[in-house]
Amino acid sequence: MVEVKAEVEVEDQQSPVSDQDGDNDVVTEGASVVHGEPPQEESGPPEVESEVEVLHDKVTKQIMKEGHGQKKPSKYSTCFLHYRAWTESTQHKFEDTWHEQQPLEIVLGKEKKEMTGLAIGISSMTAGERALLRVGCELGYGKEGSFSFPNVPPMADIVYEVELIGFDETKEGKARGDMTVEERIGAADRRKMDGNLLFKEEKLEEAMQQYEMAIAYMGDDFMFQLYGKYRDMALAVKNPCHLNMAACLIKLERYDEAIAQCGIVLVEDESNVKALFRRGKARAVLGQTDAAREDFLKARKYAPQDKAIAKELRLLAEDDKAVYHKQKELYKGLFAQRPDPKPEPKNWLILIWQWLLSVFYSLLRRHRQKAD
């Protein structure tokens, strides 16, 4: 396996795969779902041992992962989050945004009635925090429950596993659906710029939070409606966020996730050199040398003078050569011609003893013949 360093910096700043693109962009562009999905509990909500915090007489919280900073969303903040939800009595999971790969957007103070308890929990969280919330039915789906989607029985208390991706403070409480195309792209671009600053400070988790927020503004439903210059404008923000996320993930040694982020970009732009290069680096570290070489060769096709790409191809070639010599030494003894067996050394004492016995028996036979 090739040992490729996780750093995405390269010496040649003019390189198509360098980490600086313009004055403010990190040349590591990225994907649509930032964080890896947390492990699922097949039997129901996860077990959490942290202290129980009472937020409301019908809402409690236990922190599963601390967030970043101290700031919490206020009324009319637009919040983006992932969550799973179970009915507490039956442990039936009825919703999972991680599985759907689509973050939920909530404007605090304007949430749906059945999300009141969830909103109370979110308002106590910081960006990046993950928590387990328990919500009484009165602040959930109530006495009637829900018989459409999601399917929640009447009088059901709810357990939420929630991660607050991030939030925007907006006095008017404007949701994505109420924004113009330019407003959504602008909001996403501001998040991308914030992420770039955090990336440069090596605050990788915080940077990914910002990139995921930016990508949330550029959801699939939104991108599907765009064409022409508006689609180009949106992709100019969205694709760099995906590549930036891939760079963060490589530094964090989360190579499979980095590969997925690059793949999202390559669906839109199969000749994207940065996506090919970063995917190749991640694959090389995972030992997928053939796939890595294919990515680097494609990248070199579009950037033939790039020194970083040439370096990675050279590392793969050196690794192949080392593996070949190692295997040659390993199997050399198996197929070499066997030497002729050496004759065993003779024991002269035994030979003399055998000769004396033969002489004795010969004399004995002659003596018997004379006697006869």
- Each residue of 272-307: pLDDT tens digit? 999 999 999 999 999 999 999 999 999 999 999 999
The helix/strand/coil state of 277 is: helix
Does residue 340 surpass a pLDDT of 70?
A: no
- Return mean pLDDT, the chain: 83
User: Any bridge partners for residue 158, and if so which?
Assistant: 87, 135
- Confirm whether 348 is domain-assigned: no
Amino acid at 16: P
Backbone angles phi, psi at 158, to 5 degrees: -120, 145
Is the residue at 358 inside a domain? no
Q: What's the confidence (pLDDT) of residue 39?
A: 59
**In which band, very low, low, confident or very high, does the pLDDT at 336 lie, cut at 50, 70 and 90?**
low
Same domain, 66 and 194: no
- Residues above pLDDT 70, as percent of the chain: 80
158 and 206 inside one domain: no
Average pLDDT over residues 109-118: 93
- End-to-end CA distance of the chain, in Å? 90
- Classify residue 2: in a domain, yes or no: no
The answer on 195 and 310 residing in a single domain is: yes
Query: Of 115, 141, 168, which marks where a domain is finished?
Result: 168
Is the pTM for the entire model greater than 0.75?
A: no
**Is there a single domain that holds both residue 258 and residue 311?**
yes
Indicate the number of domains in the chain: 2
Please report whether residue 332 resides in a domain: no
pLDDT band at 173 (very low <50, low <70, confident <90, very high): low
| Domain termination residue (choose one: 136, 168, 200) | 168
Same domain, 160 and 202: no
Q: Do 127 and 234 share a domain, yes or no? A: no
- How confident is residue 227, by pLDDT bands cut at 50, 70 and 90? confident
In a domain, 198, yes or no: yes
Q: Identify whether residues 158 and 183 lie together within a single domain.
A: no
Residue 56 has pLDDT above 90, yes or no: yes
Residue 255: its pLDDT value, please?
A: 95
* Arithmetic mean of pLDDT, 171-182: 76
Cβ contact 149:128 at 8 Å: no
**Which residue range(s) make up the domain with 91?**
53-168
Q: 297 and 186 in one domain?
A: yes
Look up the CATH number of the domain holding residue 143. Answer: 3.10.50.40
Tell me, yes or no, whether 187 and 147 share the same domain. no
**CB neighbour list of residue 276: distance below 8 Å, 6 or more residues apart:** 262, 266, 295, 296, 298, 299, 302
pLDDT of residue 241 exceeding 60, the answer is yes
pLDDT band at 1 (very low <50, low <70, confident <90, very high): very low
- With tokens 């197929």, the residue in question is 335
pLDDT > 90: percent of the chain: 53
**In a shared domain, residues 192 and 281:** yes
Provide mean pLDDT across the span 265-269: 92
Question: Would residue 345 count as lying in a domain?
Answer: no
**For residue 103, what pLDDT is reported?**
85
* CA trace torsion 358, 360, 361, 362 (10° rounding): 80
Domain's final residue, options 108, 137, 168: 168
